[in-house]
Structures are given as C-alpha cells and as structure tokens.
Amino acid sequence: MSEETAEGGVDETAESDLVGDILSKAKDIDEKKEVEVDDEEDEDEQKMGIVGKISSGIQSLGQLTEEEEERVIAQRDIDRRILRATSEADEEVWGDKERERHAKMQKLERGLLRIDRLLLSDGVNLLVLLPAIIIILEILAWNWWDSSPAWWEGSVEDTLGIEFGFTVAGIAFVVSGAWMLGILLTRQRLWVTQSIMSDEVERFQKMGRPFSSMHGYPAFKSMTTGTLRNRTTTLILCIFALILLLFGLFSDKSAENGQTVLLLGIGVTILALGLHLISRETLYSTAEPGGILSVYEPPVHPALLGQVFSDLMLTHMDPFLRMRFEDFMQRFRTSLQPGFDPVIGRERLFYILHLHRRGALSNEDRRREVAEIIVDEDIDEILDHPFFNDEVWARLLDRCKSRCPSFFRILDRLEHSLRVDIQGLKSKDLIFDVDMENVVYEHASLFCLLINNSEETRSVVLRIESPDFRPGTIHLNLSLPPASSIISKLPEQLALSSEGDDDVLAAIANLLNVGQLNWLTLLPERLGEATVSVSLEDEDGDLILGRVVNLRVKSEWNRRLTKLSGLISIAVGAVAIISAFALKIIDFLSN
C-alpha cells in the first residue's frame, strides 16, 4: 500500500512539474517578447488589432511568429493533459463492472423503448386501446350476467353450455392480462431509465462535477419520479381490476355478488385509464443520444445573448447532454487552429451546423468551413464524434427551432439582406429587427436584434409594452458598440460560403458578435387576438424606431382534451366504485 502511494505521489509530482515547466516556458516567452519588441510598439499594436479581429471570428492571416507558435503549442499541450486527466478520472470512478452493468441497462432500456414506441405508448397505443376494450366487455358482461341474448342461447349456449356473460368476462380477463403486461413493461422502462440517470449523476458527482445543482435538474428529476409513481399506481389498479374480474368469473351466477364485483371492476378499470391519460408523457430515454431533449423545459434562459448560438443551444440542452457537451468542448479546444478564440470558434461551428441541417451547406462545404476552425488532423474526430454526431446536432437544432422559431426567422432575414441588399444595410444607422411567434400557446418568446452601424458607442432604451401579456411593461437600457467598421467593409456580392472569410457565414458571425440580441419571455393573460409594441428610444425618451407585433393566443386543445378525458374517466370510475358499494349497502339494509 505504501509503495502504491509513493508511486502515485511521484506521478503527481512529475505531472505537476511538467505542467509547471510548460507554464513557465509560456511565461518566459511572454517576458522575452516584451523585452525584444520595446522599440516596435506601434507595429505590435497593429498586430494585436489583427489578433482582436481573429478573436471576433476571422481566421488568422499569415504565419505566426516562432514565439507565438511555441506559446500555442504549450497551451494546447496543457489542454490535452487536462482532457487526459478527465478521462483518467472517469475510468477511476467507473470500473469495468460498473461499465458492464451500465451497458446492460442501456441495452435493456433500448429494447423496452422499442416495444413501448411501436405498441404501447405510441404507434398502436395499446395502453389506451386495451382498457377501452376491457370496459366495453365488462359492461356487456355486467348487463348479461344472469341471462344471455336470444341469438346466443339458440346457438353457442345450447351447443357448448357456455353463458354469454361468462364468455365475455373471460375475454375481458385475457385482455386485462395483456394490459397489465403492457403497463408493467412501460413502468420497467421508466425504472431502468431513472436508474441509468441516477448512476450518471453519481458518476459526475464523484468526478467533482456538481450535476444536481445544474439548472433544470431538480424539476426534471421531480417529473421523472412523478411519472414513475403514476405508472406504479396505474399498475396496482390494473392488478386490482384483474383480481376483481377473476373473482366475478367464479362467483355464483344466481347471486348478485358477481354483478357487484363486475361493477366494481368497471370502476377500477376506468379509474386506471383516467390516471394513465393524465400522466401520459412524451417518450424519453438515455439509450439514444439526446433522447431527453423532447421532454426537457429550460427553467432559465439569458435575457441578452452574448454568444448568440451558444447561449441558445446551451439553454436547450438537458443536464445530461450539457455535461457531455463540456467534455466535447475540452476536445474541441485542443483542435482549434492557432489564434482562434474558443468561444468564437464554437459560435461559428454552431452556425455551420445550422446551415448544414437546413440544407444550405453540402457535406463538402461544411468540411471546408470547419477546416477554417479546426486543424486538419482533428476534423474527422470533431464531425464524427462518438456522441455529438449528426443525429444529436439535428435533434438539438430541431428542438431550438420548435421552441424559438422567431430567432431563426431573424437570422434568415439578416442572411437575406447580406446576400441581396447589402447597400440597404450600409445605409441604416441602426439595424433593428423584432420577431415573435405568430400563434402563442403557453408562453411567447420575443427576440430583438440591435446592431449599431456607426463609429461611436450608442445608448438606447428598449421599451416593450402589451396589455395582453405579463409583464405588461419592460424597459431595457442598452449600450451598443459600433459596428460600422465591419459593415462598411462588406463587398457588394457575398456568397453564403466560400474560401476564406468573404462570405455570409463569416459576416453573420461577426455581426451577431458585435450586435445585441435580446430574448424575453412573455406570458399571455387571455386567449384571442393580442398586440405587443416594441419601441427603441434615445436617452431623452425620443422615439427612434418602433414595431407592433400582432398575434393570436390559442389553447392547446389536444393536450387539454387528453387531460379532460382523463379527469372525466377518473370521475366516472369513482362514481362506478361508489355505486357498487352503495348498491351493496342498500341491498344489505333492505334485507
């Protein structure tokens, strides 16, 4: 034990010494450079200006100096060692047994999800169809319990001696068994998913990453726990209904106990169906990359998008995807071209993926644009990442588009102006665009884009007012940095994507970086027509520009109808159960 400890101490010391040597080397390079270039201060300021442009999203022009190259190599070596240390920590936390158990659980979840998606919750939707059939059969059995229809008596009952009520109740019993099995499989899938997520949370916590404190995790955990609890309750009711049906099958036909038990079974079945309708959820799983995105609702979002695409997509990532994205970003930073800012590189990568998903960029164009950000030997590893592949990016982008369509409409209009109306952009002192959803359901997302096309910083007041939404009035004091140096240098014709940075892709990245995009959430007060007024004022309160957005607030009838059907089923089931007990009590008192 002491030898192992000694070896670990030597390894840690050697590792820290090596990193310290790299850092000191980078520091020595800085000091050496400061001494050598004292006499060329003006020229260095121009070089630093170029580096500033690089960090704004423009790839470096020309070759780096020898000192800069050594510093970049030293920093990249540090990033790679951090990435390797993270991977080693992951292996220490999860041994071979834990990984094997995790793989088996995910394989089981994948199989249960396939059955659930095709037959139970989606597809054929047997979890709703089967109880409906059971209820109809039980009502028929209850009505014809002590007698049979004439057509049945003259055919089946005279030949086989089987009564109509007994036959129908027997069929209902078989269908109830299939329904119970379906609910059991669904509950098992939810339990496996929750177990996998608990293991993931424990793994991240042991690695020193505060997973349980991330935005959205407490609400998501409460949702998954509540869904599993509802499925357990539904399963218990289903088993109880099956027992009642079995008891009714073997009860005395001459007594009224059989009919009372069947009525009680009808009530329990309807009650279980109503509980299932209320607790129905969109399918989610950990077996598929990005499989939780469809049910995740971000509780917090930034009001001012600093890095536009990054802030939007990170907001819509569920906590599990967000943790894996941090690992991906560690690998991404070690693959950047020398001189590229990681934040701007990430922003451009997201925009390239958006254009590729939209079909505006081919695979070749995407690879060429990514090659301006990533070194050649790491392009395939970034584009064909084992987790963040095309499917995950497509799911994430589709989720963002479904939740924030107005953001992408603003982006499309800016792209259109850059391609066909650059002179119109150059003639404006202030580029101002506003958009919201045309039809609002639970809440509305308002996006405002502001770009200052002048040479000086400009202070404005963004005022949003509406009697139909909460909050009714919003005032934002904004300081807009100048962007005329970027807009004035744009050529008359811009292609969407081309060699170098004279294209729409680079122009939009630069404009979004220097402009300001505000994201506000408004809650509707009432259904029907609604109006939102957005005005831009100077510091003295004088109106500069304004927009009025007309929209319609609607209710999601499909969701409301499902909930209403569930509540009605619960009420009817409760009435049937109470009626069964009431009839028995009345019969007892009358005798």
- Residue 548 or 260, more confident: 548
Residue 4 has pLDDT above 60, yes or no: no
Domain range for 397:
300-403
Residues 195, 317 within the same domain: no
Spatial contact of 346 and 393, defined as CB atoms under 8 Å apart: no
* End residue of a domain, out of 344, 371, 403: 403
Q: Is there a domain that residue 12 lies in?
A: no
Q: What is the CATH number of the domain that holds 422?
A: 2.60.40.10
Last residue of a domain, one of 344, 375, 403: 403
105 and 177 share a domain?
yes
Last residue within a domain, chosen from 384, 403, 422: 403
Most confident of 27-41, 387-401, 413-427: 387-401
Would the pLDDT of 85 be above 60?
A: no
Percentage of residues of the chain with pLDDT beyond 70: 83
- The answer to whether residue 13 sits within a structural domain is no
Number of folded domains that form the chain: 3
Q: Is residue 11 part of a domain?
A: no
Residue 329 domain-assigned (yes or no): yes
Cα gap 188→175, rounded to integer Å: 20
Range name among 227-241, 260-274, 275-289 with the lowest pLDDT average = 275-289
Of residues 71 and 546, more confidence is placed in 546
Kindly state whether residues 217 and 101 are assigned to the same domain: yes
Strand partners, 29: none
User: What is the model's pLDDT at position 6?
Assistant: 38
Q: Do 188 and 244 reside in the same domain of the chain?
A: yes
Q: Are residues 540 and 579 in the same domain?
A: no
Residue 346 lies in a domain: yes
In a domain? residue 418: yes
Q: Are residues 131 and 278 in the same domain?
A: yes
Q: State residue 237's pLDDT score.
A: 92
pLDDT for the residue 256? 66
Q: pLDDT by residue (tens digit) across 514-566?
A: 888 999 999 999 889 999 999 999 888 888 899 999 999 988 777 778 788 88
Asked if residue 127 and residue 272 are part of one domain, the reply reads: yes
Residues 206 and 330 placed together within one structural domain of the fold: no
Q: Residue range 284-308: average pLDDT?
A: 85
Q: What residues are paired with 473 via a beta bridge?
A: 465
pLDDT of 183 reads: 93
Look at residue 188 in the predicted model and tell me its pLDDT. Answer: 93
Residues 267 and 392 grouped into a single domain: no
Helix, strand, or coil here: 204?
helix
Residue 282 to residue 123: CA distance in whole angstroms = 13
For range 161-172, the mean pLDDT: 86
CA separation for the pair 549, 316 (Å, rounded): 25
- The residue that leads in pLDDT, 580 or 550, is 550
Tokens 């009952």 sit at which residue? 157
Tens of pLDDT, residue by residue over 99-116, are 788 888 889 999 999 999
Q: 460: which residues sit within 8 A by CB, 6+ positions away?
A: 430, 450, 477, 478, 480, 536, 537, 538, 539, 544
Instruction: Look at residue 295 and tell me if it is in a domain.
Output: no
| CB 129 within 8 Å of CB 120 | no
